[in-house]
Structure 1
Amino acid sequence: MNSVSSISSLDADFLRRKSASEGGFGARRLRYTGIDGIKGWVGVKFLFFFYADRYAVVENEYLTLYEDESMKKVVWAGSLHGAQVARGMAGTDIVVCTVDDARHSIRPPVGAFSDWWTVVNQAAALKIEKFYKLCGLLGQGSFSRVRLAKDLQTGQEVAVKIMPRSSLKSDLNVLQRREIAVMRAIDHENIVKLIDVFEGPKRIYFVLEYVRGGMLYDYILRRSEIYEHEVRRIFKQILLAVRVCHEHGIVHRDLKLDNIMCTSQEKDTDIKVTDFGLAGLIDGVRMMHSFVGTPLYMAPELLELKPYDESVDMWSSGVILYGLLTGTFPHRGERTREILESIQTKDYGLLPPSASETLSDDCQSLVYSLLQYNPKKRLSASAALHHPWFLSTNDDFAQGRVSSLKYVLGTDDHDLLVMFPNGKLAKNFHVPPAAPRDSLTAQEKFRASVRSMIAINRMQAMVSVERRKKLRTLFFSAMASQRLLSLATGLSAQRLLQSSQDQQPESSLPS
């Protein structure tokens, strides 16, 4: 199985469950890459003339080979975008060579060859240039850049997230496939929609809904003041998005002001949650263990390396609410290490006295309920939406100013938490100071808040793989050298013995 194009068994099971329980992802079909699929038993060649029976599914743009019809165990899965498709020598096989150099020779059932041939070729012929015109740069991150684009048929503006294939190590690729899966699983007004996915030999393109207002972080920067009733309206939409994610078994794991988009720059803006690149999947039984997220928003159980569930999103939501209400983080410390220690030792304040005097009691109660150190005591998204702060009709606080936000989240020079390939944690790795807000637009601003850190266990896994490869190479090199030395030594000894025998006088030979 080609690891670059593979998805985990949990992800495959997630896809299967959603397809069975809610009509699959075809209910929200991709615009141009969502082709009519096909499925059934096929023969897959493996050793010259031998074939193994596999249950194949071409859904939208992906080919998945399962061990059997139950679709529980994935043998291989990958994109057909840009693949080379040809007929086999006998004319009964479809030979597929993907952009990842994975080669499969598939033999469809008798009489179904033309159907399979048509679907596979449709998927392979999809290229983004045929459907979208790429325009200016909207933003750039560690592993991707986002460009504005225009639909050539409708003229609609979209955002295209572009990720180079050179950065797609196997674990990162699994996260990408998962990001596609979860974004197609959810259709909600407060979540950025995935419109299309294109995959070429060098890049992967995510075509996303274009949200014009920019990040919530920048929205806060532009406001000279904000009111409690405005925060309530924004935060309710965040909780609605989080609730629908959790109902689908999806944990975002990187909720922060940077990953929440505004539909406009006006006071009555709506918001949409985006960036599911670190999303995890839960099924009500299994817990998650990956150490991922942004330090300033990470829950205590993550830092303690304990198994966790969707409650980590509720902690991050609490941090976001705290920031919207006060313009500061609830954690003490100027460096990331100090902040993480503050979270672990419970050394973080809740609401400062100035905010406590201004905010309503219901508002303060919700903040306390979300920033609970014990995840079992934390409110769920559904419970938070039924909190008195949202249900109350008392608008006494509606005109009360929350904060002038002079000390805005992320303007301090915090350390980033970065795991380098050598397995060592980077220290004193500073974010450049934020530029004066008047000189930059929301899209041009360098993100002053702490960026998403690379999952430590994922990096360690990659480091471990590389080390094993090197050790394996050295081991076999040593074996080969030892073998050659043994052969050379044996040959030399044999020649020496033969030479001594040839030089002995005949009288000394035994009779």
Structure 2
Amino acid sequence: MTLLDAIRNLAVKDPPTAAKRKLYKTNKILGEGTFGVVKEATYLPTGRNVALKGIKKRTSHDSPEVVEAAVKREMAVLQTVRHPHIIALLDWFETKDKHYLVFELATGGELYDRIAKKGKFTERDAARIIFTILDAVAFLHEKDIVHRDLKPENLLYRDSTDDADLVIADFGVSNFVHGDELLSTLCGSPMYAAPEVIKRSGHGKPADIWSVGIITYCLLVGYPPFDFAEDLMDLMDAITSANYKFDSPYWDNISDSAKEFIRSLLKVKPAERPTARQASIHPWLCKYSFRAREAERLFHAQETLPPQTPPRPTEQKSTTEQDAILQTPAVVPRRSITPTEDDDLPNLVERVWSAHSDSLFSPRGKLLKAFRTLQAVGRMSSTKKGSSSSMEDSQEEMVQSGTKQAETDGEAKEQKVA
């Protein structure tokens, strides 16, 4: 904290919720979310262990208003959802210099770590994991929420048992999107980003579906589909053209159904990808997951239901029904977001993207390859001919703004995680 920050804090009164900070005793660092450090903490009144995410209100790059907007959006999303496979927000408070979000504690580690330990998953286990993810993603999409940063590092196990529940975490860049509305901020993690995210052509719910396709590929062979890319721009070119293969011998014993499932999710055109609900009842998932088969049965049962007749205008609701309606929270209208009127935090999110680029090709950034040797990759080149003008603009902006910071931030994060 600088001297100016210290003087500023003396002049600022504690927010009303600041007293809650004394109720939590922080322990070890669990990791870093999109915009904050997450620590294990104990809620002293009950002794319950939780995950406490602290976000600085003022950074060297961002104003308090920008940070507050990010926190409020993450809170708005998490307060909208309650699902067994989505991390639960338990509480929130703020002090003079930080926002705090209190989450349930998932102690089983990341899906990333289990991939690194196992090398790869069987088709049966992979299918069950993917159904769990898709079921939660479908729930989010039905609430008009896009996660935008689905990856093994953001999928946590509730405990260390082999059959532990998996939950989606880190909603730092999630957002609301309605109907045909599109977002255009360059966000998420490069290896898992959809073509339309990279090209800034406008993205929505299908971007999450692409990410699930990448995760599926990783689960089955232990490495991502575009790991041959030598730098960030090679990666972007590969993603935007869906230039991936099912390499021999690694894919020789994997079923055609699994490959077809991945192909269906990794379509360059967003409109050609299935919805999360449609993907969750794919034959490959139904073969291995009872929950997928049950979802398929319910899906088709709903298709055969006769249309319901709406109530007549003259019908009066009972007193009980009226009371229930009055007690139902009103839906808060949300602003329209289009590719030209971007998210609230374009600069902040794009800097996070840039910071990913260098560490992307480190042993942590690239999934541990069970069957291959990790190769060190040199510095990213700053130019590349032959791309479209819009792609060049995106690539140059990311490389120029992110390379220097990525070298320091990426190394620092590696040391902290280690």
Which residue in 2 is equivalent to 1:160? 52
Identical pairs, percent: 28
Decide which structure has the larger Cα Rg and report it: 1
1:344 corresponds in structure 2 to 240
- The partner residue of 1:216 within 89, 111, 131 is 111
Secondary structure of the structure 2 residue equivalent to 1:244: helix
Q: Any conservation in 2 of the 1:190–1:241 contact (CA below 8 Å)?
A: yes
The answer to whether structure 1 residue 406 and structure 2 residue 370 are counterparts is yes
Q: Which runs of 5+ in 2 are unaligned?
A: 1-8, 291-366, 383-393
Report the 3-state secondary structure (helix = DSSP H, G, I; strand = E; otherwise coil) of the residue aligned with 1:359.
coil
Output one character per residue of 1:155-186: Cα deviation in whole Å (capped at 9) or x when no partner. Answer: 11101011111235233321211100101111
Partner of 1:150: 42
Measure the CA separation in 2 of the matches of 1:277 and 1:202: 19
SS in 2 for 1:218: helix
Query: Deviations for 1:27-71, whole angstroms, at most 9, x for unmatched residues?
Result: xxxxxxxxxxxxxxxxxxxxxxxxxxxxxxxxxxxxxxxxxxxxx
Q: Structure 1 residue 405: deviation in Å?
A: 4.7
Are residues 373 and 353 of structure 1, via their aligned partners in 2, closer, same or farther at CA, if it must alter by over 3 Å? Answer: same
- Establish whether residue 270 from structure 1 lines up as the match of residue 165 from structure 2: yes
**How far, CA to CA, are the matches of 2:255 and 2:188 in structure 1?**
31
Between the two structures, name the one with larger relative contact order (CA 8 Å, sep ≥ 6). Answer: 2
- CA offset at residue 153 of structure 1? 2.2
Q: Indicate conservation of the 8 Å contact 2:146/2:174, yes or no.
A: yes
2:285 corresponds to = 390
Cα distance in 1, alignment partners of residues 14 and 118 from structure 2:
47
* 3-state SS of 2:141 partner: helix
Map Cα deviations across residues 99-118 of structure 1 (whole Å, 9 max, x no partner): 68xxxxxxxxxxxxxxxxxx
Cα distance, 1:324–1:209 mapped onto 2, change above 3 Å: same
Query: TM-score by structure 2 length?
Result: 0.67
Given candidates 223, 227, 233, the residue that maps to 2:128 is 233
Asked if the contact 2:148/2:207 (under 8 Å) is kept, the reply is yes
Q: Which moved more, 1:360-369 or 1:337-346?
A: 337-346
Shift of 1:139: 2.5
Q: Which residue of 2 aligns with 1:129?
A: 21
Q: CA deviation at 1:128?
A: 2.2
Pair 1:293-2:182 in alignment: no
Matched to 1:406, the amino acid is A
Once the two structures are overlaid, the 10-residue window that deviates more, 324-333 or 182-191, is: 324-333
Q: Deviations over 1:78-127 (max 9, x none)?
A: xxxx9x9xxxxxxxxxxxx9768xxxxxxxxxxxxxxxxxxxxxxx2552
For 2:156, the equivalent position in structure 1 comes to 261
**3-state SS of paired residue (2:26):** strand
Contact 2:121 2:221 in 1 (8 A): no
Output the CA distance in 2 between the equivalents of 1:312 and 1:227.
Answer: 26
| SS of aligned partner of 2:103 | strand
Look up the equivalent residue of 2:68 and give its one-letter code: N
**Deviations for 1:436-468, whole angstroms, at most 9, x for unmatched residues?**
xxxx9xxx644xxxxxxxxxxxxxxxxxxxxxx
Instruction: Check conservation: 1:298, 1:315, Cα contact below 8 A.
Output: yes
Match of residue 364 from structure 2: none
Q: State how many pairs are aligned.
A: 314
Look up the match of 1:196. Answer: 91
Alignment of 1:362-377 (within 5 A): 362-377=257-272
Structure 1 gaps, min length 5: 1-81, 85-96, 101-123, 396-402, 447-511
Letter in 2 for 1:156: R
Cross-structure match for 1:509: none
Distance 1:300 1:211 in 2: 31
Question: 1:133 Cα deviation (Å)?
Answer: 2.2
Secondary structure, aligned partner of 1:195: strand
Deviations 1:454-492 (A, max 9, x none): xxxxxxxxxxxxxxxxxxxxxxxxxxxxxxxxxxxxxxx
Alignment check: 8 A CA contact 2:158 2:165 kept: yes
CA 426–131 in structure 1, closer or farther in 2 if over 3 Å, else same: closer
With over 3 angstroms needed to count, the CA separation of the structure-2 counterparts of 1:365 and 1:409, relative to structure 1, is farther
Q: Do the aligned partners of residues 423 and 357 (structure 1) sit closer, same or farther apart at CA in structure 2, a change above 3 Å counting? A: closer
1:365 deviates by 1.3
1:235–1:321 Cα contact (<8 Å) kept: yes
Select the structure that is richer in strand: 1
Tell me the alpha carbon deviations over residues 350-373 of structure 1, each in whole angstroms, 9 at most, x when there is no partner.
322324321122211110100111
Query: Partner residue of 2:78?
Result: 183
Q: Cα deviations across residues 218-256 of structure 1 (Å, max 9, x unaligned)?
A: 121122553111111111111111111111111011111
Checking the alignment, whether the CA contact within 8 Å between 2:222 and 2:370 is kept in structure 1 is yes
Residue 315 of structure 2 aligns with which residue?
A: none
Q: CA 1:393–1:445 in structure 2 vs 1: closer, same or farther (change >3 Å)?
A: closer
SS at match of 1:139: strand
Closer, same or farther: CA 445–423 of 1 in aligned 2, 3 Å: closer
Report the 3-state secondary structure (helix = DSSP H, G, I; strand = E; otherwise coil) of the residue aligned with 2:101. strand
SS at match of 1:138: strand
Q: Structure 1 residues 385, 415: closer, same or farther in 2, change over 3 A?
A: farther
Q: Distance in 2 between matches of 1:420 and 1:130?
A: 46
Amino acid at match of 1:427: T
**Structure 1 equivalent of residue 298 of structure 2:** none
Aligned-CA RMSD value = 3.5
Kept after mapping to 1: 8 A contact 2:119/2:368: yes
Q: Of 194, 197, 205, which aligns to 2:100?
A: 205
1:371-400 Cα deviation digits (max 9, x unpaired): 1111111111000111111222699xxxxx
1:136 Cα shift?
2.7
Q: Structure 1: how far apart are the matches of 2:24 and 2:266?
A: 44
Distance 1:287 1:236 in 2: 26
Separation (CA, whole Å) in 2 of partners of 1:311 and 1:297: 13
Q: Distance in 1 between matches of 2:184 and 2:46?
A: 44
For the 8 Å contact 2:21–2:93, the answer to whether it is kept is no
Per-residue CA deviation, residues 10-33 of structure 1 (Å, 9 max, x unaligned), is: xxxxxxxxxxxxxxxxxxxxxxxx
The structure that is helix-richer by fraction is 2
Q: Relative to structure 1, is the Cα distance of residues 318 and 408 closer, same or farther in structure 2, using a 3 angstrom cutoff?
A: farther
Secondary structure in 2 matching 1:319: helix
Alpha-carbon separation, structure 2, partners of 1:379 and 1:422 = 30
**SS class of match (2:213):** helix
Match of 2:212 among 295, 317, 328: 317
